[in-house]
Amino acid sequence: MFVGHLAAAFGARAAEPRVPLSVAVAAAFALDMLWPILLLLGVESVRVHPGDTAFTNLAFDSYPWSHSLAMVLLWSAAAALVARRRLGAARAAAIVGALVLSHWVLDFVTHRRDLPLWPSGPLAGWGLWQSIPGTIAVEGTLLALGLGAYLRVTAARDSVGRWALAALVALTTAIWITQPWSTPPPSPTAIALGSLMLWLLPLWAGWIDRHRRPL
């Protein structure tokens, strides 16, 4: 899942104003921000496999430290502890931790059975990616709901607050929705390097949030 994680961040920011959008986006994408680093270190592995599912050309062969349920629970707890110290509010910290966990839950819906429950443990996944229309319908609906929630509680202070948000949604949607028809990446290294661009999303989200005001 991709824009579904962004949807979760928007929804969390709407539910708890003490969670900055930059923090919400970082938490929602945390596992995928960690994943390319582990790929480059050789700790985890991915394979270019055209047709692996209808929606993606990637085979996620091994990612127990970033994406197993057991490790995600630990990452969620760690994120909540850091957020508690930084944000000073138990509810905000709980939401940050839940956002990290939501990444696994949303991936479980879309991935085939390649998500480990724990390192070297059994694999899980409902396989929504086997259906292009189903993936677009479910994930697109999540994005619409999350963005709608964020727009109901914030308004643009200026043109940056309006157009930076529109550009973020447009770019992430374009990247996501064109996946089934995109040329497969040339190598796992290219996948990892491209995925490092996710580290820009929290910075972009923070820029947006600074140019919007609460309603």
Domain that holds residue 11: 3-45+59-214
Structure tokens at 25: 């986006």
Cα Rg of the chain (Å, integer): 17
With respect to residue 51, please indicate whether it lies within any of the assigned structural domains: no
With respect to residue 50, please indicate whether it lies within any of the assigned structural domains: no
Q: Which value, to the nearest 10 degrees, does the dihedral of the CA atoms of residues 41, 44, 49, 55 take?
A: -110
With respect to residue 159, please indicate whether it lies within any of the assigned structural domains: yes
With respect to residue 52, please indicate whether it lies within any of the assigned structural domains: no
With respect to residue 100, please indicate whether it lies within any of the assigned structural domains: yes
What is the Cα–Cα distance from 11 to 149, expressed in whole angstroms?
A: 6
- Does the predicted TM-score (pTM) go above 0.85? yes
C-beta of residue 38 within 8 angstroms of C-beta of residue 14: no
C-beta of residue 20 within 8 angstroms of C-beta of residue 154: no
Digitized pLDDT (tens) for each residue of the chain, 215 residues in all: 999 999 999 999 999 999 999 999 999 999 999 999 999 999 999 999 999 999 999 999 999 999 999 999 999 999 999 999 999 999 999 999 999 999 999 999 999 999 999 999 999 999 999 999 999 999 999 999 999 999 999 999 999 999 999 999 999 999 999 999 999 999 999 999 999 999 999 999 999 999 999 99
CB-based contacts of 198, cutoff 8 Å, min separation 6: 29, 32, 33, 36
The count of structural domains within the chain is: 1
With respect to residue 161, please indicate whether it lies within any of the assigned structural domains: yes
